[in-house]
Amino acid sequence: MDFRSRRRFLQLTGIAGAGFLNGCRLLSKNNINAQVVVVGGGFAGATAAKYIRLLDANIKVILIEPKAQYITCPGSNWLFADLLKIENLTVNYQALSQQYGITVICDAVARIDCEQKRLLLENQQSLAYDRLVLAPGIDFRWDTLEGYDQATAQVFPHAWQAGPQTLQLQQQMQAMRNGDVALICVPAEPYRCPPGPYERASMMAYWLQQHKPKSKLLILDAKTGFSKQKLFEAGWAKSFGYGTSNSIIEWHSLADNPLQHLDVKTKTLSTYFGDKIQAQVLNIIPPQQAGSIARQTGLTDASGWCPVNPLTSQSRIQEHIHIIGDAANYAPIPKSAFAANSEAKTCAMTVVSLLNQQPLPDAHWLNTCYSLITPQYGISVAGVYKLNAEHTIEAVKGAGGLSSLKDPESSRLEAAYAQSVYQTLLKDSFS
Ligand code: FAD
């Protein structure tokens, strides 16, 4: 996508948002007294709760989230380049409760009774629902690398759920000696935010270049390639000498020689063929699966993710439960906050239509994902998705695309867009 069409795309997504609302206010014709419970107050759940209320103020919406404050993963990599503080990534649920009349309960759901359409909170409160929207995000798989488990992750933080682990990883990086090695282990797909590990590598390299220029950052990848690879590599070549012997960043595919074992004491990783890789800072991002409440309720399949009917966002296992965000399988749409927000809006329209016994809306989705290579160098990927005749999701040909490799001016502007898209998304989801 060239630069002008990128701006046009962003304009269109903004207009689509407004049009979406105007059209949908028509839905609130009936005086229904339905109760929708939304589980999980991340980008998916918060957006769904807000838009259901915007579409039909007669529906009572209860949002359940254990954390009083939510720290966004988008933007959390920027911490490693000292571009912001964690407070800048922190939101609360006041606007959702005060502006939109959503009942926000600060607790976790312990159990879902699909037969009775009830759920039980950790504090033992029981709640009934007419429709349940489930958006619990991700959990990690701890059984894939010998020596690495939940306890070890406290020492070698994954920082793949933004918060204390992000700060811990930042402190570890800052405590490195000049010449030390840091590494990032990237899992196979699907995982949350496909370009996220490479943006993290960029932000760390940017900081190391200024403060510990003799240090190296290794990316050990379970894949043979990665999202926005050409754009990242061009940016790394320009900014960090990638491809030369002086490069701060090195990327290694371990697809044919996977990591097998972590020796915690010596901070050494061993591969299948016996290679040993030692580093002073180890950021191991484990493979992922749907949040535990989804698995516990039997809503996942063998992949570990929740299968859904994309037209309605209904679980293929329990049809009165709608599942959105990272926990659900909307492939080929990647797991991102932008996509979670888009899935939530489609889901909100569906839930309101079903409760009002109105025809279902057409389903379509958007995703865009910006990454910073340096504070002045941004890149992005965008996609528009629709249902095809087989009722599976496909990318709309000719819509979306990647940043231009040829236009040096665009990378500076894309860096600015990265900030503004983040702010817009945050506002649209939480206020
Ligand atoms: P989450 O945001 O994880 O929210 C799930 C919520 O559910 C949590 O708050 C959790 O507390 C709650 N929950 C879980 N279980 C229960 C329960 N039993 N009861 C009640 N509540 C529960 N995406 C982008 O679009 N752009 C980016 O630039 C970007 N950058 C990223 C950078 C990093 C480093 C990472 C890790 C991710 C990034 N992402 C980005 C991806 C994005 O963070 C996720 O895709 C997004 O957060 C998914 O939203 P979600 O609501 O599905 O899950």
Residuewise pLDDT in 10s, the chain (431 residues): 443 344 444 433 443 343 344 344 445 555 668 999 999 999 999 999 999 999 999 999 999 999 999 999 999 999 999 999 999 999 999 999 999 999 999 999 999 999 999 999 999 999 999 999 999 999 999 999 999 999 999 999 999 999 999 999 999 999 999 999 999 999 999 999 999 999 999 999 999 999 999 999 999 999 999 999 999 999 999 999 999 999 999 999 999 999 999 999 999 999 999 999 999 999 999 999 999 999 999 999 999 999 999 999 999 999 999 999 999 999 999 999 999 999 999 999 999 999 999 999 888 999 999 999 999 999 999 999 999 999 999 999 999 889 988 787 899 999 999 999 999 999 999 99
Atom of ligand 1 minimally distant from the CA of 138: 3
pLDDT at 26: 44
pLDDT at 29: 54
Instruction: Give yes or no for a contact between 298 and 159, defined as CB atoms under 8 angstroms apart.
Output: no
pLDDT at 33: 82
H-helix segments, 31-73: 43-55
Q: Is 196 in the pocket of ligand 1 (CB under 6 A)?
A: yes
CA of 295 from ligand 1 middle (Å) equals 17
Instruction: Give yes or no for a contact between 82 and 208, defined as CB atoms under 8 angstroms apart.
Output: no
pLDDT at 408: 75
CA of 337 from ligand 1 middle (Å) equals 7
Instruction: Give yes or no for a contact between 44 and 325, defined as CB atoms under 8 angstroms apart.
Output: yes
Count of CA atoms in the C-beta half-sphere (13 A) of 138: 24
pTM of the model: 0.94
Residue to mutate (ligand 1; options 73, 107, 425; most atoms within 8 A of CB): 73
> For residue 224, with 0-12 CB atoms within 10 Å meaning exposed, 13-18 middle and 19 or more buried, which class applies?
exposed
Residue to mutate (ligand 1; options 62, 83, 300, 326; most atoms within 8 A of CB): 326
Query: How many C-beta atoms surround the C-beta of residue 335 within 10 A?
Result: 25
Atom of ligand 1 minimally distant from the CA of 327: 52
CA of 203 from ligand 1 middle (Å) equals 20
Instruction: Give yes or no for a contact between 298 and 287, defined as CB atoms under 8 angstroms apart.
Output: no
CA of 310 from ligand 1 middle (Å) equals 19
Instruction: Give yes or no for a contact between 119 and 105, defined as CB atoms under 8 angstroms apart.
Output: no
Can you tell me the distance from the alpha carbon of 91 to that of 94, in angstroms, rounded to the nearest whole number?
Answer: 9
Do strands 126-128 and 118-121 pair parallel, antiparallel, or not at all (unpaired)?
A: antiparallel
* Torsion angle of C-alpha atoms 219, 224, 230, 235, degrees rounded to 10: 0
pLDDT at 100: 97
> Tokens at residue 12, please?
């269109």
CA of 183 from ligand 1 middle (Å) equals 23
Can you tell me the distance from the alpha carbon of 315 to that of 321, in angstroms, rounded to the nearest whole number?
Answer: 6
DSSP state, residue 16: H
Q: How far is CA 173 from CA 161, 177, 283, in A?
A: 18, 9, 10
Atom of ligand 1 minimally distant from the CA of 162: 36
